[in-house]
Structure 1
Amino acid sequence: MPNARDTRMNRLFHVPLSPFCRKVRLVLAEKKIEVELVEERYWERDADFLRRNPAGKVPVLRMDGRTFAESQAICEYLEETCPEPPLMPSDPRDRAEARRLVFWFDDKFHAEVTSKLLYERVNKKITGEGYPDSRNVKAGAQAIKFHLDYLGWLLDQRRWLAGDRMTLADFAAAAHLSALDYISDVDWNRNANVKDWYAKIKSRPAFRGILADQVPGFPPPAHYADLDF
């Protein structure tokens, strides 16, 4: 059942291929919180947007009469105020592991992979910053192999990334990987465990909005929205 709250004024200022925005969108959808999606050209540093978040970054969530910025702060707010279904484990040790993996993707994976592939190939063109740096693209293509192997190792031992239940760690990982999959930068045949995990998570109703994204000038590959690859 939808959460008992007035959702008419909820707005998420976002960019479709931003993994940080996608993470928040997945949490909102999983918790059945309706929001109006507003695409924000954050690189233009519009005065109204900077009033919402002086850092000039997305996502920004307008909800409950307040404005929230930074994806992890938003996700924690949603988890605390809309606890069903839970996306963080009840055990403190398991929570620590889930948080570790969220930061793994939003920090290490982002720096080594997402920023080297997605930002070079897509963001630079959209924001008018020039052409991709081939050295960065090469480095990102090499680094993603290590990360996929690490995910495969985790999934050898666990049903989901942080344990036996799906958590925010899975959404953080899926947010980055789905954005990269949109531009065909994930070798799903590298590890069967990772491919099975992603097929399972992208089959969830919460993923429908992500799979419907269309970015002008960048059509997704045929397998992107295929639940069976």
Structure 2
Amino acid sequence: MRLFQAVGTTAAIAVLATGCASADDWSQPRAVAPTPIGALGAGFVPSAKPSPEATITPRPGSWDGVHPPKDYRVVLLTAGDDPQTKTLVTAVEEWAKQEDASLKTVKASGNYIARIGEALDLHPDLIVAAGNNLVDPLAMVTPNHLEQQFLVVGAELAEPTGNVTAADWTGASFRGEGLGASSTYNPSTFTPARAAAAIRAGVASVLSGWTGIVLWLS
């Protein structure tokens, strides 16, 4: 545990502030967890409470009524320059502008665990991960930081802890090297519409307290 708590002491390096200007300077962690504006619609979660690590299939659009509070702090943790990752990154950036979220970006390469540490050092409300190369490092780090919420878009962790939520779909379900995926990888499925749905559904789920699960988008 000490290893992961110690990494990332130079958080200011390679961190890019994006999105709209904000009076929120991120100087201190939140004293109170942010609450959502609005509520999930019918069909987002099944009638029976999903078990930890469960996969649920929310009704399309059932997340549209949920929005983050102003200046919701998000770190976009991204790895890779492939078209699929770029599509996910663009979706997160556009979502942040539309929702007036406070967004910072950490671009990861090489020592992924150190870059995750940089994201943690910023004390965001949510860390959004985009890029298959981050899945295995996240699986190592996230159980040691249960107080921090994570959202993985376009992939998932094989055994997520309660602070890790994922939003993916058929063709985008990478779970780590050497592990079977829920579906065959298909780069063509990484469309702007699916990526936009993933970030919106995922954030709505986290804000509403449905965490530690996989959202399977149709």
Q: Check whether TM > 0.5.
A: no
Structure number with larger C-alpha Rg:
1
Question: Going by fraction, where is strand more abundant, 1 or 2?
Answer: 2
The one of the two structures with greater contact order (alpha-carbon pairs below 8 A, sep at least 6) is 2
Query: TM-score normalised to the size of structure 2?
Result: 0.28
